[in-house]
Amino acid sequence: ILSKINPDKDILNILDKMNEMFRISYEFFYKPEKSKAVRAFKLNKEISSLIDNALEAKRKEYIKALISIDFSNRIIYHLTTMRLDTLKELSGENN
């Protein structure tokens, strides 16, 4: 989808934030630290907000790209929450 649209400042900014989210989620998966989980949470909210704001004034092709980016953001953030759930299970917090 992104290859079919012209470069857009809003979308490039969102993709930059997503790259940071992916890096943090990857690092957190192998070395869970509270600061990384908090940063991933804040980035998830920030990316969602950026997507919502960008959706207001975009054409159909851009909207498709933003929806795809939003879906990818949710998947990437799930890496962090999935790891948090695993850590809770291992520590016995769910009992």
For residue range 7-36, list pLDDT tens digits in order.
888 889 999 999 999 999 889 888 888 898
Angle between helices 34-55 and 60-91 (to 10 degrees): 160
Tell me which CATH code domain 2-91 carries. Answer: 1.20.58
Average pLDDT, the chain: 83
| Amino acid of residue 91 | S
- Please give the model's pTM, rounded to 2 decimal places: 0.67
CA distances from 22 to 59, 72, 75, 82 (A): 27, 10, 10, 14
Angle between helices 34-55 and 9-30 (to 10 degrees): 160
Rounded to an integer, what distance in angstroms lies between the CA atom of residue 10 and that of residue 37? 25
Rounded to an integer, what distance in angstroms lies between the CA atom of residue 22 and that of residue 91? 25
Structure-block tokens of residue 88: 């809770």
Spans of all domains in the chain:
2-91
